[in-house]
Chain A
Amino acid sequence: MVQTLTTLKESPSQTAGPYVHIGATPNWVEITGVWDEDLGLVLVGPETKGERIIVKGRVFDGSGNVIKDALIEIWQADADGLYNSPEEKRGKADPNFVGWGRQPTDGTTGEYRFETIKPGRVPYKDGRLMAPHITVWIVARGINIGLHTRLYFGDEEAANAECPVLARIEHKFRLPTLIAARSEENGMPTYTFDIRL
């Protein structure tokens, strides 16, 4: 027998199931008193640098029905394009912006909603700048392994056009599905990002 590698296998994923909120956002499902506040509800405080925006949308299944029991997480850079993470080696991010958020999709409307800031640009591995984007992660009953995607901004046409990640997408018809349209809601810039499975 040849030598064996010493690497381990990643633990296989299993669906988050219908009750993911018991673990992720217990207060939201009326399990109160275990801890005071669900993690990831608030991204932005008064001291946070950057343009305040709302990101919202819905998740649709393969038949076009809205998924009302999903959990969405986002991860993004600060206004200067730095991540608030020990793995960020390029500098120190805005200490008043965690950059991570977690929200359930609404049990009635299916909408998720984050109040955040518009991220700055982050370099690709070769140093070219990627367009501003937010990393999105989706789990739900029926999803066997969490789905990663990216939200890009509809009003960043020039940056989107030169983004090395967007440029690598072979089937161009899929490109617009990664771009959130900008509108205004009560004077707040609002980006709508629907996710279709």
Chain B
Amino acid sequence: MQRKAILSEVSGPRQEQMTGLEGGFYQRDRSWHPAALTPQYKTSVLRSPQYPLLALENTISEMTGPRFGHGTIGPLDNDLIRNFAKTGDAIGQRIIVYGRVLDENARPVPGALVEFWQANAGGRYRHKKETYLAAIDPNFGGCGRAITDAEGRYWFRTIKPGAYPWPNGVNDWRPAHIHFSLFGHAFAQRLITQMYFEGDPMIWQCPIVSTIADKAAIDQLTAVLDRNATLPMDALAYKFDIVLRGRRSTMFENRMEGN
């Protein structure tokens, strides 16, 4: 009901002359993102596009996207300590992860679906292809999700994941990390990334982290310990803000002939 009202408010030819109308998304800064072909991460060699990407200006197809209502989410979806618990809480360092989802214009992105998954405290995933010898925690599934509130905020409770070895070099290890998937308001904003933990020396030895060339970009994926947000006698807290692509605002329209 409410949505229909919003739709009629911004549609119609009169609006097209309005200033401040939102246009396409800013071009992705490909030097800030990892390149597709990063030989130190061996799997990327055969899984990177061989031909240059086609440049596609944003159309309605990219500037729209699915929206997930708060009803999508169950009460334990953002509690990885309890959402798979069988006999008790998951084992490990109890932490809260919280932050905001913003766009490049520094505006909050409300209603964004944030999904996260991670290894257990020993660095082991609950997955049949996982072969690392660290023990499975019977009370830890490793997945969760949240939807951002009106200020773009999300939060969840979990245990700090362990570092784990992986087959790349003969002795490569991933730093402790949490995987994140984000839906903003448009399919052009779709993003999957990983969160690292402040002060972890393993960050600087990881062939996947180093697919990102700029140290400042790696720092952007590194959550900061927030002593003020800790739960006394319970859990540490890490703050992790995420930035999605922002939209151009068109102060002057540049319309093609006939439109």
Contact = CB atoms under 8 A, between A and B. Distances in A.
Interface of A: 6-24, 26, 29-31, 33-35, 39, 61-63, 65, 67, 69, 73, 75, 77, 83-92, 98-100, 122-127, 130, 133, 135, 137, 139-148, 150, 165, 169, 171, 174, 197
B61 interface: yes
Given A7-B105, A7-B106, A75 B47 contact: no
A33 B84 contact: yes
Contact of B116 (A6, A23, A126): A23
Interface in B208-259: 208-209, 211-212, 216-218, 220-221, 242-246, 255-256, 258-259
B59 A130 contact: yes
A6 B208 CA distance: 29
Interface in B188-218: 190-194, 208-209, 211-212, 216-218
Contacts of B48: 62, 142-144, 197
Q: Dominant SS at the B interface? A: loop
6 contacts: A8-B104, A13-B191, A69-B129, A85-B64, A143-B47, A165-B59
Most buried by B among A73, A75, A98: A75
Contacts of A144: 33-36, 38, 41, 44, 48, 211
Nearest to B72: A39
B47 A142 contact: yes
Contacts of A6: 106
B94 to A, nearest CB: 18
B17 interface: no
A19 to B, nearest CB: 5
A9 B67 contact: no
Contact of A169 (B4, B54, B142): B54
A144 B40 CA distance: 12
B179 interface: yes
B192 A125 contact: no
Given A62-B47, A130-B59, A143-B48, 16 more contacts: A6-B106, A10-B28, A11-B193, A12-B33, A12-B217, A12-B221, A14-B211, A15-B211, A23-B115, A26-B117, A35-B74, A67-B47, A88-B7, A100-B65, A125-B57, A144-B35
Contacts of B106: 6-8
B140 to A, nearest CB: 10
B127 A127 contact: no
B63 interface: yes
A135 B4 CA distance: 25
Nearest to B116: A23
B212 A22 contact: no
A14 B192 contact: yes
B43 interface: yes
A86 B6 contact: yes
B247 to A, nearest CB: 10
Interface in B40-61: 41, 43-51, 54, 56-61
A12 B190 contact: no
B31 to A, nearest CB: 10
B139 to A, nearest CB: 12
B49 to A, nearest CB: 5
B128 A8 contact: no
B61 A133 contact: yes
Contacts of A165: 56, 59
Contacts of A19: 117, 125, 127, 129-130, 179
Contact of A29 (B59, B127, B144): B127
Interface in B99-151: 102-106, 115-117, 125-130, 141-145
Contacts of A73: 190
Contacts of A124: 59
